[in-house]
Amino acid sequence: MAKKLPLEGIRIADFTWVWAGPYCTLQLAHLGAEVIRIETRTRPCVTRMLPPWPDGKFSGPDCSGYFNQYNQGKKSITLNFKHPEAHEVARRLIKASDVVINNFAAGVMERMGFGYPEVRKLKPDIVMVSLTGYGDTGPYRDYVAYGPAQVPLSGLSSLTGYKGWPPMHAGFSYADPNAGAHGAMAVMMALYHRARTGEGQYVEMSQWECAIDVLAEGTLEYSMNGREPERNGNRDPYMAPHGNFKCLDWPDKIADQVVDRWISIVCADDAEWGRLARAIGRPELAADPRFKTLAARKNNEDELEAIITSWTSTRDPASAVEHLQKAGVAAGVVADARYLSQDPNLTARDYFVYKQHPEVGVKQHCGIPWRMSATPCEVRSPAPTIGQHTDEVLMGTLGYSRAELDELKKKHALD
């Protein structure tokens, strides 16, 4: 008999939106929790309105690949909080839940009447997590935090960049999933504590602080030595070569563009450098005084990279990586989405998810990054259409009758 999932029976009242919060509750859905997103049709989740869309044009709030990626396995109900009846539905949902989570700016839940004191009155052992940009306290608590701006705010940008260039970004709103993953861990630890003691609690998080926790090497250079680390491209002080190297472009155009391709190559020590030199047909370079030791390779890194590029630039990335890995060299394709979608390793491990979605059909989505031997996790359903589970949750879980439900709908309390 199949084992229950780790969080089977745990219900999450999910007030989150955009990316950080939904990323957090996605992990909980992966672990088997019943995640119920509270949405509103008057202001759908930002990600429902963003591309990518099938056929390239907006065709309604259920069609975004962005939303459909990060809300797999969840339910959706819609409430219109202009109506007191909607508040009553939310109160009943909280009473029936184990966890309440939100990533609104500080104070928003309080203004909606769902601050922790009120929520605890409804459900004394509730775990409540607030995952705001700046945290609940401090002089900037009310500041507005948008995903892209959280990367420079965190300090990562000032550490990231080509040598001699201004600070760069991470290329995506990295602080969001980082905070979401830390938030999922926070929920799990609080649930564990509750399981042992019967005690719920409030957990307060700042996306900014979660991000600083993953760049400790940077802040420690400053706190130990009063120095700002220098931006240095893809290079590493303790390994060389350490970088991305140009290969052949995709042979066909993508969306009318020529798309370039690269691979990463790293040699952690002199022996690995020797393996690389032989693999690129230049065995004599292994013992060459310009490259023999780490110190020598660091001193001649421009030249070193030029030699490697002359080998990679005429090659297909996948076969170059295969060749280097066979020789025992750490190499990887700088995967774009097209490559990733067919990556042999991810494919062989059944990482990708293909579910039938009522609006977009079967699309390839990214799956669960872990495997569990006794309680195998799986994505149980595609992302919900907006309000897809309103009837099911209100009648099945919260005890509303069909007549009451129809009455609420007539009043537009469930929009």
Site for another protein in 16-75 (CB under 8 A): 19, 23, 27, 31, 47, 50-56, 64-66, 68-69
| Least Cβ distance, residue 296 to another protein (angstroms) | 18
Q: Which of 36, 99, 126, 186 binds another protein (CB under 8 A)?
A: 186
Q: How far is CA 38 from CA 58, 71, 141, 237, in A?
A: 23, 12, 24, 48
Q: Which of 96, 112, 118, 155 binds another protein (CB under 8 A)?
A: 155
Question: Which of 115, 155 has the CB closer to another protein?
Answer: 155
The torsion angle over the Cα atoms of residues 375, 376, 382 and 388, rounded to 10 degrees, is -10
Q: Determine the residue type at 171.
A: G
Say whether 176 is catalytic.
yes
377 scored as a contact of another protein (CB under 8 A): yes
112 scored as a contact of another protein (CB under 8 A): no
Question: Which of 378, 407 has the CB closer to another protein?
Answer: 378
Question: Which of 19, 400 has the CB closer to another protein?
Answer: 19
Tell which positions 234-253 bind another protein, by CB under 8 A: 234, 236-239, 242-246
Question: Which of 103, 264 has the CB closer to another protein?
Answer: 264
Among 83-91, 129-137, 279-287, 401-409, the segment contacting another protein (CB under 8 A):
129-137
- Do 340 and 297 meet the contact criterion of CB atoms below 8 Å apart? no
Question: Which of 85, 219 has the CB closer to another protein?
Answer: 219
- Do 183 and 20 meet the contact criterion of CB atoms below 8 Å apart? yes
**CA-CA distance, 89 to 94, in Å (whole number)?**
9
**CA-CA distance, 278 to 295, in Å (whole number)?**
20
381 scored as a contact of another protein (CB under 8 A): no
Q: How far is CA 244 from CA 24, 100, 261, in A?
A: 31, 43, 10
Among residues 14, 62, 176, 252, the one annotated as catalytic is 176
Q: Which of 215, 294, 395, 405 binds another protein (CB under 8 A)?
A: 215
- Joined tokens for residue 247: 């290969």
- Which SS3 state, helix, strand or coil, does residue 237 take? coil
DSSP result, 164-232: TSPP---SS-THHHHHHHHHHHHHHHHHHHHHHHS--EEEEEEHHHHHHTT-HHHHHHHHHHS-PPPP-
What positions carry a catalytic annotation?
Answer: 176
